[in-house]
């Protein structure tokens, strides 16, 4: 049975927000979009966790979305991060993204204020009713402090515009429950869990590692979809050390920004309170990239 957000199946890449001297580097951002278009990526996701959205001002947030939509020019889908722990703020950003030409909105569960399940449902209902673009429910309790329970996601699935779930709970049981209860398109929010999630009915990934090796992640997904499980497992094994470092050496997006810098694709600049890798961590990352064959 085709899932609701099928147009977003495959590889989506959570873009970093490049900075130069403290300002958003729009040229480098647009080069990232071109890089993903050439790789054959399905969709790019600006201003999510990887895009350092918590430290962008609202005008910057809007500027990044507009720059990515402009660079995409219809060649690749754009799923813009528009979540907030204030429903009014999320409404403003989501409406803005739709007007700017985004194809979908990636909306993280309200963080810090820990709403009840009813509050979660009403938050997403308000957003789904305010726009015509599909919404991806981004569930990452490790960051937000509160899980959106599968039963709540099943209620959300009754709303026409809720089409996808970015599943970043790390729980295959929770993912299985959502896949069993709904026709939502479930995408992995953890690179290293892409293959396990595909195996239970997931349809792709919103990837961090895809910033540097999108082609390899596409190969993994394609191998699985074509029924070549052994080939998919080979890609999983090959990608695993890279996936582990991107999320294990330090908080995302610190390692991916360091990797992009080492590969000459970014300044590596972060915004406080994010700080660069220590020399030891950078040496480990350099070694992983060299072993992988990209450095």
pLDDT digits (tens, 9 = 90+) for 182-201: 999 999 999 999 999 999 99
Residue 3's pLDDT band (boundaries 50, 70, 90)?
A: confident
Instruction: Calculate mean pLDDT across residues 39-45.
Output: 98
How far apart, in whole angstroms, are the C-alpha atoms of residue 182 and residue 82?
23
Which architecture characterizes domain 6-228 according to CATH?
Answer: Alpha-Beta Barrel (3.20)
Domain boundaries of the chain, sorted by first residue: 6-228
Looking at residue 225, its pLDDT comes to 98
What's the pTM value of the predicted model, to 2 decimals?
Answer: 0.98
Q: What share of the chain is helix, strand, coil (3-state, %, to 5)?
A: 50, 15, 35
Looking at residue 160, its pLDDT comes to 93
> Minimal CA–CA distance to 108: which of 43, 53, 41?
53
The catalytic residues are 138, 166
pLDDT digits (tens, 9 = 90+) for 99-129: 999 999 999 999 999 999 999 999 999 999 9
Query: Cα-atom radius of gyration of the chain, to the nearest Å?
Result: 18
């Amino acid at each position: 049975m085709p899932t609701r957000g099928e147009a977003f199946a495959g590889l989506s890449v959570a873009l970093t927000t490049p900075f130069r001297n403290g300002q958003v580097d729009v040229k480098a951002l647009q080069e990232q979009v071109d890089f993903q278009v050439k790789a054959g990526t399905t969709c790019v996701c600006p201003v999510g966790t990887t895009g350092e959205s918590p430290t962008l001002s609202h005008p910057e947030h809007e500027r990044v979305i507009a720059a990515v939509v402009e660079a995409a020019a219809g060649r690749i889908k754009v799923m813009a991060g528009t979540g907030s722990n204030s429903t009014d703020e999320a409404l403003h950003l989501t409406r803005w993204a739709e007007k700017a030409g985004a194809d979908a909105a990636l909306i993280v569960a309200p963080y810090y204020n820990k709403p009840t399940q009813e509050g979660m449902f009403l938050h997403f209902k308000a957003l789904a009713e305010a726009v015509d673009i599909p919404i991806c429910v981004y569930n990452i309790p490790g960051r937000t402090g509160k899980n959106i329970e599968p039963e709540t996601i099943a209620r959300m699935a009754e709303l026409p515009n809720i089409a996808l779930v970015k599943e970043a709970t790390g729980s295959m049981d929770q993912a299985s429950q959502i896949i069993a209860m709904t026709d939502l398109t479930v995408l992995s929010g953890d690179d290293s869990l892409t293959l396990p999630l595909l195996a239970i009915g997931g349809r792709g990934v919103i990837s961090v590692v895809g910033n540097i090796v999108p082609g390899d992640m596409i190969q993994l997904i394609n191998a699985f979809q074509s029924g070549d499980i052994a080939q998919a497992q080979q890609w999983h094994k090959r990608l695993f050390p890279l996936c582990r470092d991107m999320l294990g050496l330090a908080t995302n997006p610190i390692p991916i920004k360091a990797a992009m810098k080492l590969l000459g694709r970014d300044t590596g600049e972060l915004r406080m309170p994010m700080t660069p890798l220590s020399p030891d961590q950078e040496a480990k990352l350099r070694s992983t990239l060299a072993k992988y064959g990209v450095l």
